[in-house]
Amino acid sequence: FSQLTSWADAGYANAWDSRRSISGNAILFFNNPISWLSKQQSVVPQSTTEAKYISMNICAKQLQWLTYVLTDLHLSIVKPTLFNDNSGAIIISKQASLNTNTKHIKVCYQYVHDCIMKKLLNIIQVGSNQMIADILTKPLGVQKLNTVCNQLHLVDPGGVSDIRINMDKTISKV
């Protein structure tokens, strides 16, 4: 893997008031988070694939900007890697042209495709159970939350399940 890795995900139509999707991404530098985002998408996607593709574009823009910042700091950056768990979104990002199922996607969401064609970015598919950005797009169970927090170095191992809310509404560690 490269020194700069990113994880892009989307929760499809999970904003109840607008039915828009929530994009989430996390960017890590040597496995430590340096940028993250959880944001409602500005358009209503037609499918999970489209929602995740839009999220990949948002992440690719931030990733490219961070690459420029780190390069300005005289750090040599290997081609960044973007991880996504949707094979359809990855296929769309690598296609040279849009087809009848994807031609409605706005040109402004084709940035990730441009980065791939210019060889500025690697795209790798991961399993849904490995998606770190899930924490930014949807509620997680305790086990998945502990795993993701651990991967992002947010809390010590087991930290989430070791917290207890007492009857007097005080919080303590077990």
Are residues 156 and 122 located together in one domain of the fold? no
Are residues 38 and 85 located together in one domain of the fold? yes
Number of domains in the chain: 2
Beta strand pairing status for 171-173 and 163-165? antiparallel
Are residues 12 and 98 located together in one domain of the fold? yes
How does the average pLDDT of the chain come out, rounded?
A: 86
Are residues 98 and 166 located together in one domain of the fold? no
Q: Rounded to an integer, what distance in angstroms lies between the CA atom of residue 63 and that of residue 77?
A: 11
- Say which residue, 154 or 59, is predicted with more confidence: 59
Are residues 85 and 105 located together in one domain of the fold? yes
Are residues 110 and 174 located together in one domain of the fold? no
Chain segment 122-168, per-residue pLDDT in tens: 999 999 999 999 999 999 988 998 899 889 988 655 555 555 555 55
pLDDT for 167: 55
Taking 70 as the threshold, does the pLDDT of residue 44 lie above it? yes
- The CATH number of whichever domain residue 32 belongs to comes to 3.30.420.10
pLDDT for 37: 96
148 contacts 134 by C-beta, under 8 angstroms: yes
Task: Please state the rounded mean pLDDT for residues 18-36.
Answer: 94
The range of the structural domain enclosing residue 146 comes to 140-174
Are residues 104 and 128 located together in one domain of the fold? yes
Instruction: Count CA within 13 A, CB hemisphere, residue 53.
Output: 28
Are residues 74 and 147 located together in one domain of the fold? no
Chain segment 61-79, per-residue pLDDT in tens: 999 999 999 999 999 899 9
Chain segment 105-119, per-residue pLDDT in tens: 766 778 898 999 999
* Phi, psi angle pair for 103, to nearest 5°: -65, -20
Task: Please state the rounded mean pLDDT for residues 84-108.
Answer: 79
* Residue closest to 91 by CA, chosen among 60, 59, 56: 56
CA 135, 141, 145, 148 torsion-angle sign: negative
Taking 70 as the threshold, does the pLDDT of residue 98 lie above it? no
Q: 3-state class of 140 per DSSP? A: coil
Task: Please state the rounded mean pLDDT for residues 72-93.
Answer: 93
Are residues 149 and 119 located together in one domain of the fold? no
Are residues 80 and 146 located together in one domain of the fold? no
Are residues 114 and 146 located together in one domain of the fold? no
Res. 46 pLDDT band, cuts 50 70 90: confident
